Amino acid sequence: MLDWNATRALNISAGLFIDGQWTPGEAGASFSSLDPTTGEVFARVTEAGASEVDGAIEAAARAQPGWAALPPAARAAMFYAAAELFIGRQDQFAQALIRETGSGYGKAMFECSQIPIALREAAGLATRDIGEILPSQVPGKYNRTYRTPVGVIGVITPWNFPLYLSIRGIVYALALGNTAVLKPSEDSPVTGGLMIAELFADAGFPAGVLNVVTTSRDRAPIVGDAFVKDPRVKVVSFTGSTKVGQMLATACAPIFKPVVLELGGKNPTIVMEDADLDRAVDIAFFGKFLHQGQICMSCDKVLVARSVYDLFLEKLVAKTRNFVPTNPAEQTCVIGPLINGRALQRVEAMVNEAVAAGAKVHCGGNSRGPYYEPTVLSAVTRDMAVWIDEIFGPVVTVTPFDTIGEAVAMANDTPYGLSASIVTGNPMLGEMLAERIHAGMVHVNDSTVHDEPHAPFGGLGASGGGGKWGPKGAIEAYTVQRWIATQREPRTLPF
Ligand code: ADP
């Protein structure tokens, strides 16, 4: 295994991973993946151009029929092998997540814990049913449906949970007999792509089944364009911002190319009057501050029944004050750095603008080096960016409500619809309320940040609309269904 955590020595890490080979970029260009805590270069990474992207798509297209023709048990064995290998490499993966993306140790280990689960889930998918028999109205007719892999998928992933989101993006599609070209984020090319390429190669996946191309942000559109326009790429899978997702979906629409999207969120936690407030504080705190709030499921707004609002706010602020941002290399780190200066400045501007317009800061509200202090805001109004836009940082707003209808209206006051949480002493009421929330996922008495690899993860509206992640959603997204009907006995036709 390459020593990914000593890449400063290694530099220009390994190259692009195309057709089972580490391949240099044609122009010899490279870019830096930076450690967000220190600003130092974590890795120099090869810059792909149009011809490398084309080569990766070609390799995937060539490998696909042979891969799909393997017995399911042979495909499954490679996923089990990858899971075992991963467990042996978990510490290297976690250290790389800490250094490349500023993940706290706990977050990095949590992310790693999902990988073997997802790989084994994918192994099981290889033998799931791929067809059905339907009754017919016509005597002697046999209706069957068959599902076959779509072919090559193009996968683009972000930096916040780079390892898990890339794994999630590829494994179910591969298990179903597809092949893939993966482009990880420019902020996480190693943990979101190159280490995965190495893992899959070592686990025995044949050449061309998984190809990884890396680019800087400026060159990302080269990959996006190729995935959209190249007829060999049958489905585009994207996890990232609503802006880029919208662009890709718009470009795919006129050529009817399917896109699978997971975009932003503006996720509420509703605290009911009968909630255990200490539990509600823990739920809101975890939902907001895990990974500095840089998660599509992060809880941006806590809506609290007015009768318990003051006490809840006091308890949340008291807890939040205990967490001082620290270097994520320290095992006790909960709040680490933001991913880059651009992200930090964005959060700063949002808070400053809210405060200038009348919002109240109860704790935090400042940046220190690469960190932004965990921040609790109240007196937030509907015209403020902190209420409208995804915050993607360690800042939470707390707002009182008087009626359940008002709580629902405020929770739904957004075009997004990814995740929500409801904290109540009455789970039945929580479930009934959940049905009124415009979100793909609602957690009663748990935080907005929750995922299980086998569950139908996905959002509504600006969070991505149709399509679900996870094994069941993958069957819909990454196979073509055909109805094949056979008339076994002669049929009397009308003329
Ligand atoms: P963020 O701002 O959180 O990085 P983005 O949506 O910008 O979210 O990035 C998510 C992924 O989309 C990254 O892999 C990034 O390189 C990629 N990306 C950004 N712009 C484009 C584009 N025009 N075409 C294709 N991919 C893009």
Q: What is the pLDDT of residues 129-151, one digit of tens each?
A: 889 999 999 999 999 999 999 99
Residue 237: beta bridge partners?
Answer: 155, 260
- Evaluate whether 49 touches 220 at the Cβ level (below 8 Å): no
Protein fold of 10-258+466-482: Aldehyde Dehydrogenase; Chain A, domain 1 (3.40.605)
CATH class of 267-444: alpha beta
Q: What is the pLDDT of residues 209-249, one digit of tens each?
A: 999 999 999 999 999 999 999 999 999 999 999 999 999 99
Residue 142: beta bridge partners?
Answer: 486
Spatial separation of the C-alpha atoms in residues 351 and 359, rounded to whole Å: 9
Other C-beta atoms lying within 10 Å of the C-beta of residue 6: 9
What is the domain partition of the chain in residue ranges? 10-258+466-482, 267-444
Q: What is the pLDDT of residues 74-89, one digit of tens each?
A: 999 999 999 999 999 9
Q: Which two tokens stand for residue 17?
A: 């991973």
- Evaluate whether 205 touches 78 at the Cβ level (below 8 Å): yes
Q: Where residue 11 falls among pLDDT bands split at 50, 70, 90?
A: very low
Active-site annotation holder among 58, 121, 198, 296? 296
Q: Where residue 6 falls among pLDDT bands split at 50, 70, 90?
A: low
One-letter amino acid for residue 17 of the chain: F
Spatial separation of the C-alpha atoms in residues 412 and 303, rounded to whole Å: 11
Residue 271: beta bridge partners?
Answer: 304, 423
Q: Tokens 């997004």: give the residue.
A: 416
Q: For the sheet with 141-149, list strands across it.
A: 131-134, 141-149, 479-487
Residue 270: beta bridge partners?
Answer: 303, 422
What's the angle, vertex CA 224, arms to CA 339 and CA 165, rounded to 5? 45
Spatial separation of the C-alpha atoms in residues 148 and 421, rounded to whole Å: 37
Q: Which two tokens stand for residue 135?
A: 């009754």
Active-site annotation holder among 262, 299, 333, 373? 262
Spatial separation of the C-alpha atoms in residues 101 and 107, rounded to whole Å: 11
Residues with CB under 6 A from ligand 1: 156-159, 183, 185-186, 217, 220-221, 223-224, 240-241, 244, 247
Counting Cβ atoms within 10 Å, is residue 279 exposed (0-12), middle (13-18) or buried (19+)?
middle
Tell me, yes or no, if the pTM score tops 0.85.
yes
Q: Name the helix (H) or strand (E) containing 171.
A: helix 162-175
Q: How far is the CA of 239 from the centre of ligand 1 (A)?
A: 8
